[in-house]
Amino acid sequence: MIEFKVNSESVSFDGDSGTPLLWVIRDHLQMTGTKFGCGVGECGACTVHINGRARKACMLPVSSVAGRSVTTIEGLAPDDANLHPVQQAWLEHDVPQCGYCQAGQIMAAVDFLKSHPQPTDEDIDNNIDNLCRCGTYVRIRKAIHRAAQLMAAGEKT
């Protein structure tokens, strides 16, 4: 039995320890905000936080999170009225087109802003490697800059 936390709730999984975390989150825990994209850790649609750091869930066996804390897009903000600054910025800049990759994009941006609180375009381009098939990269960049402003102004982080 593998025990860990997801969005601050204790959970356990008694299946194959090599099952990718993505499938445990989606199929066992029924949280479908984290998406399957490529299955090889390249696109980032499956990005979650493990102990606060962005990781691609399709490449992590569930055994690797035993005793650790996982945050999915569903756990990033307590409710729709209290969004994380990155989520708020995504809405302000109308980032999603199809929206499929956006949960992973948001999770990557949240982790990125921890180490780059005043990012340049170059910082964003060199550090955010999640793919967007719709090509909303300009809006993603603008939203990351806006989220940095909101965070600097003391919005919830």
How do residues 38-60 score in pLDDT, each as one tens digit? 999 999 999 999 999 999 999 99
Please list the residue range(s) of the chain that carry CATH number 3.10.20.30.
2-75
CA distances to 32, 43, 92, 150 from 156, in Å: 24, 28, 16, 8
CATH topology classification for 85-152: DNA polymerase; domain 1 (1.10.150)
- Residue 81: what pLDDT? 86
Q: Per-residue pLDDT for 5 more than 80?
A: yes
> How far apart (Å, rounded) are the C-alpha atoms in residues 47 and 31?
13
Does the 2-75 domain belong in CATH 3.10.20.30? Answer: yes
Distance of CA 149 to the CA centre of its chain: 20
- Residue 78: what pLDDT? 82
Mean pLDDT over the full length of the chain:
95
- Residue 79: what pLDDT? 84
| Positions of E strands within the chain | 2-6, 9-13, 47-50, 53-56, 69-71
- Determine what percent of the chain is predicted with pLDDT higher than 90: 93
- Residue 48: what pLDDT? 98
- Residue 72: what pLDDT? 98
- Residue 22: what pLDDT? 98
Strands 2-6 and 53-56: unpaired
Q: Per-residue pLDDT for 155 more than 70?
A: no
- The residue whose two tokens read 């967007």 is 132
Tokens representing residue 13 in the block: 């999984």
> What interhelical angle do 102-115 and 85-92 show, nearest 10?
120
- pTM for the model: 0.94
Q: Are residues 50 and 69 in contact, defined by beta-carbon separation less than 8 angstroms?
A: yes
Please list the residue range(s) of the chain that carry CATH number 1.10.150.120.
85-152
